[in-house]
Amino acid sequence: MASSWLPRWFYQLASPRWCYSITGKLIPWFAAIGGLLFVIGLVWGLAFAPSDYQQGNSFRIIYLHVPTAILAQSFYMLMAIAGAIGLIWKMKVADMVAKSVAPLGAALAVLALATGAIWGKPTWGSWWVWDARLTSMLVLLFLYLGVMALNSAIESETTAAKSTAVLALVGLVNIPIIKYSVEWWNTLHQPATFKITEKPAMPAEMWMPLLVMVIALYLVFGLAMMLRLRNEILTRERRAGWVKELLGS
């Protein structure tokens, strides 16, 4: 087989039934751990982390703003990768993943922009500025909305999946712009809070609850994605025998 180097689970994902089953096993873990970490991170960040010496307590919006901004970009990459897999390997489940992710990514982009505005008002004196980072995040929201609109406008599921996959892949060019905009241009937005190659600039008692929140939101929105995916699987596979058996019809 030409693609025998790919792991077995990759091919198993092509099976809606297998995907439905494995997500059903993961959901309770994502719900329990994600919910617990969310409460811990939020209380830790909002109530116990020290205030910033320049921004005071207004900086605490970072515990929602940074995780939602990170996830909005991560979910877009997931949507684009799933779309590419659907185009190349014709996997129905990949198309379902891409469709399930889009509304969640749009919600994350809205949250990132809204919390950024709340942060920007006391910091910059304005709810919005046409800063490179903010503008590229707004473009990310429009890309999500474009994918969702295209999905709704095209009746054929196969054609819609191909069209939205192409749009998502083209829109990938915006991700490095978001990430490196603060380095490429003179912007008001501060540099990245987390860098893989560097130690965080803020003290541990401030960045540790932020890290907890990032992990928590990955789990919470991962849970939401799996719930949407399972619903999409049941909708598309409603005529399959295993779905009829599952639903008792």
CA-based Rg of the chain, rounded to a whole angstrom? Answer: 20
More confident residue, 5 or 18: 18
Q: Cβ(99)–Cβ(232) under 8 Å?
A: yes
More confident residue, 176 or 200: 176
Other CB atoms closer than 10 Å to residue 222's CB: what's the count? 20
Q: Cβ(86)–Cβ(94) under 8 Å?
A: yes
Confidence of residue 202 (pLDDT cuts 50, 70, 90): confident
Confidence of residue 137 (pLDDT cuts 50, 70, 90): very high
Identify the pLDDT of residue 5: 66
Confidence of residue 180 (pLDDT cuts 50, 70, 90): confident
Contacts of 100 (CB under 8 A, 6+ apart): 225, 228, 229, 232
User: What is the rounded average pLDDT for all residues in the chain?
Assistant: 90
User: pLDDT digit string (tens) for 71-113?
Assistant: 999 999 999 999 999 999 989 999 999 999 999 999 999 999 9
Identify the pLDDT of residue 18: 93
DSSP at 93: H
Identify the pLDDT of residue 177: 92
Tell me: pLDDT of 19 over 80.
yes
Tell me: pLDDT of 189 over 90.
no
Give the residue from 142, 118, 138 showing the smallest Cα distance to 178. Answer: 138
Global pTM reads 0.91
Identify the pLDDT of residue 79: 98
User: pLDDT digit string (tens) for 24-53?
Assistant: 999 999 999 999 999 999 999 999 999 887
